[in-house]
Each structure stands twice: as C-alpha cells, then as structure tokens.
Amino acid sequence: MEISTLATYHCLAFVWYFFVAYSVTHVKTEEPPSEVFLYGGQWKYLTVLNLVLQAVFYGVSFLADVLRLIKKLRCAKCVISSRDLLFSVLAFPLSTFVFISFWTLYTYNRELVYPKSLDGVIPLWLNHAMHTAVFPLALLEILALPHRYPAKKKGLILLGFVAFLYISWVLWIYSVTGEWVYPLFALFSPSGLAAFFAGSLAVIISCYNFGEFLNRMIWGQSKFSS
C-alpha cells in the first residue's frame, strides 16, 4: 500500500476511534442503570480503555506515515518501532480479546457483562463500534502493512504486565466500592475468580500468538516496514 494511502487510512481510523471514545465517555443519562456505579468513571471498563489505546495507536501510525512522506526517515524509524510494539503487544491482542470475550459472554447471558438496562443508555451502533468493529479493523491493519514483532518473551512479559495492571485496577475498585466492574465476577469464589483471570490471560496470550501468526503468514519472516 502506498504511504499516502496508508496515511489517509490511519488518519481516518484515528478520527473514528477518537469519535467513538468521545461518544462513550460523554454518554448522558438522567437515571444511570442500577448496575452502573460512578467510581472510576468509564475508565474501569476494558472496552473503553481499548478504544483509547486504538486511538493512540492509529495516531502514532499516522505520525509515522507523515514522517515517511516528508522524508524524515530517522525520526520515522523510531516512531515505526513504537507503532509496531503498540500493535503487536497491545492493540491487536486487546481488540481481539474484547471482541471474543464480550460476544461469548453476551451470547451466554448478557446480564453478566452488558445488562439490558444499558440498551436505553448506549445506542446499538455504539455498542457495535466498541465491541464488534474493533476486530475487523485490527485484521485490516495486519493486511495493510507488516509489523515487526518483539522477541516472544519480551512481548508476553509486556502483555502480562498490562494485564496485571488492569486486574489490579479491577480489584482496587472492588476493595473501595464493594462492587465488581462486571456483574460476572460476583458469581465466583476467590479461587474461582483467580482461575477466571488466569483463563482470560491464556485467551489474550492466544490472541497475541494469533496476531503474530497472521503477520508471519501474510508478510513472511523478513518483510517489515522501514
């Protein structure tokens, strides 16, 4: 794909995610559903954090494209390294995880993850923008250009660290409010919850490996952006 085309695509993706994240964080309702509590705001939800992450990733990608267009190759090389690290370790795994986990739980019992009362607060298009569109857009990014993945150990350590931070944030919110971010968590005993978190970590690691596999299958071992 031509650099100018990539720049246009990344700019549009950045604007889209910025718009969706803005729309989610500015949802207004006179009477919040009883399942929603105020502590932590929207920033307690992995879906919202993922939207912000995607906006940051596409902003960095657009900057890399612009630097390549104006021939600032030394600066572009550094930005491209950051772009590839963001995509491989966080942007693709989290988008895939959000898509798979949300729709799996929603199909099983939506009240565990997205209570029906939210339908009157969050429009249908916004729900799909948050939970559905994120996956095909991540796949499109892999098809659009190759990304250099870090050494497997480094990539998984970084991903595990971010997962640990989010789990710590969820547990902190529970310790302060006595409420779980997602109703699903209230069903588990402490050991069951630990097993659930371990299983979720295994799924997100699988998402990381899936992205690396697709990148290698489509672009081979040696073709990377420069």
Long-range contacts of 173-181 (CB under 8 A, 24+ apart): 173/39, 173/40, 173/44, 176/39, 177/37, 177/39, 179/37, 179/39, 181/40, 181/44, 181/45
Which letter does DSSP use for residue 187 in this model? Answer: G
105-158 per-position pLDDT tens digit = 999 999 888 888 888 888 999 999 999 999 999 999 999 999 999 999 999 999
Of 42-51, 67-76, 79-88, the least confident: 67-76
Flag whether pLDDT at 175 surpasses 80.
yes
Q: Which one has a higher pLDDT value, 146 or 75?
A: 146
pTM: 0.91
Whether pLDDT at 55 is above 70: yes
pLDDT at position 33: 59
**CA–CA separation, 161 vs 143, rounded Å?**
28
Query: Domain residue spans in the chain?
Result: 3-27+36-219
pLDDT per position as a tens digit, 178-213: 889 998 999 999 999 999 999 999 999 999 999 999
Q: How far apart are CA 204 and CA 202, in angstroms?
A: 6
Structure confidence at residue 36 as a pLDDT band (50, 70, 90): low
When pLDDT is averaged across residues 164-170 and rounded to a whole number, the result is 95
Count other Cβ atoms within 10 Å, centred on residue 102: 20
- Burial of residue 111, with CB atoms counted within 10 A of its CB: 0-12 exposed, 13-18 middle, 19 or more buried: middle
